[in-house]
Structure 1
């Protein structure tokens, strides 16, 4: 134990995680402040009603402007360099199938819970990201949501975070990465699949030591959700209206086949990896009360509380 000048016990590990919590709180507040400023700047122009501009503002305020801030703050903390290991093509494909399956499972859980809440409160629970995707141009979705977003999110919530917490063990890093990542999304619809994917991406990053793999997985999943799903939806509408072409039928059939195969291999992969251990990760610092030390500190409580308020506002107040 360490004592301060007043003779009080200071838990340096809890203080360390508190700093992380405050760092991510500052990052989150910055994203909101930048978004408000940019929206004010275009409020009296024609750009205010352009959904593509909203996507651009989302990218600038969520990633471009606040990234140097979180990078600077996290670089002030002690970090570790993970051992590098390459994945075979077969294993990478398996990891994609697992990621896709976790996304589907998380989506089902999210839809079920938001439906229950919606029925109980007699209101629709909105998904702001999905609304943005549906209203914006496919090319914007491709560039910003499917490529720029995953690159920054994996660096911020995997590399910067895990490199600094891995000394406390794989389990703590995975849970923390998943939790902060899920809460950052700020809505119930995305929370559950973001939590599952955040945890699995943390596992992949620690196994390989290469954030490139998680970025690629993240990009592939976002492409399916923000680009391919729109193309498939258009083809499905054409089929329903009796205006389908062979191309429309082929697109829908190929999409359904990919989903089916990804789910089958993903479920098989999950059954094989449920007891997987990261033997290359050595716990340097043992915590007597891990979850209490990690989450019950001023920084983490403030971050979690702030994100919960955002989720409640979007769920019930928006």
Structure 2
């Protein structure tokens, strides 16, 4: 999770927030997990058609999670909360590509899918996937992002569980981050939204000419935005249909040290390390909500 701070350039914000996480916190976590044995698994390839199908299924999960996160953030803060990650993404430049599209997905998939699932899958596939999703969501330390990150983490976890290859979830993660951190902000900046507020007020006061002039000046940007949102709406709808049709087709297998139902939650989430991680990330999420 990253948060833009004042007039700080976004490359510096990324550097300050991400480097300690990727180069210190993640390696330390792997060392701590090292005591848990990793079972050898077969690796399977995914056909392009299945990859595209699963990618489409990710989009409605992200949309619903984003809506829930935004509404809850605004409700808890009496409408005062701001989505700093979205603000950061709107600073469209090469650093969004470097950190959001390339480095972020590589480090995060290595940590939350490969390391976390490899060390916990022996206790149960569903247990490992849910743990991966929860840790991924909490890691963002931002309520705006928590729910969609959790849902995407579950989907990415399932994909990694069934293939044992990191390339597929990493590629999906990169595509989704490219859309949210590069493509969508670029499209939004094609239209002068700041000026729109002024001409809207002018139109309400009877100055229709100002609105017409704004529309003619932003015609190309408006057309691009319209096409983008129509296409995005269509793929989200297609993703919903695929989710409904394929939800029950998910396959899970019994793990070597499968935890019985009665003790799963206590064993996985009640240990000192996980309790500490949850408390710290929830606390930092709360702080980011009210700052």
Category of TM-score, reference length = shorter chain: 0.7 to 0.9
Q: Give the corresponding residue for 1:283.
A: 255
Question: 5 Å matches for 1:1-318?
Answer: 49-119=8-78, 124-134=80-90, 136-237=91-192, 241-242=214-215, 243-246=217-220, 248-279=221-252, 281-288=253-260, 289-316=263-290, 318=291
The CA deviation at 1:284 is 1.2
The CA deviation at 1:302 is 1.3
CA contact (8 A) 1:150 1:218 kept: yes
Between Structure 1 and Structure 2, how many residues are aligned? 268
CA contact (8 A) 1:142 1:223 kept: yes
CA contact (8 A) 2:138 2:146 kept: yes
Question: Counterpart of 1:49 in 2: which secondary structure?
Answer: coil
The CA deviation at 1:98 is 0.9
Instruction: Tell me, in whole angstroms, the C-alpha distance in 2 between the residues paired with 1:161 and 1:278.
Output: 20
CA contact (8 A) 1:103 1:193 kept: yes
Instruction: Tell me, in whole angstroms, the C-alpha distance in 1 between the residues paired with 2:243 and 2:123.
Output: 25
Instruction: Tell me, in whole angstroms, the C-alpha distance in 1 between the residues paired with 2:21 and 2:180.
Output: 19
The CA deviation at 1:245 is 4.7
Which structure 2 segments of 5+ residues have no match? 197-213
Instruction: Tell me, in whole angstroms, the C-alpha distance in 1 between the residues paired with 2:222 and 2:89.
Output: 23
Which structure 1 segments of 5+ residues have no match? 1-30, 40-47
The CA deviation at 1:254 is 3.3
CA contact (8 A) 1:110 1:190 kept: yes
Instruction: Tell me, in whole angstroms, the C-alpha distance in 2 between the residues paired with 1:249 and 1:128.
Output: 25
CA contact (8 A) 1:59 1:148 kept: no
Q: 1:137 to 1:267 in 2, by over 3 A?
A: closer
Please report the TM-score for the alignment, with normalisation by the length of structure 1: 0.77
CA-atom RMSD in angstroms: 2.5
Q: 1:286 to 1:103 in 2, by over 3 A?
A: same
Instruction: Tell me, in whole angstroms, the C-alpha distance in 2 between the residues paired with 1:163 and 1:297.
Output: 18
Q: 1:97 to 1:303 in 2, by over 3 A?
A: same
CA deviation vs aligned residue, 1:71-103 (integer Å, no higher than 9, x gap): 433334211233212122111111111111111
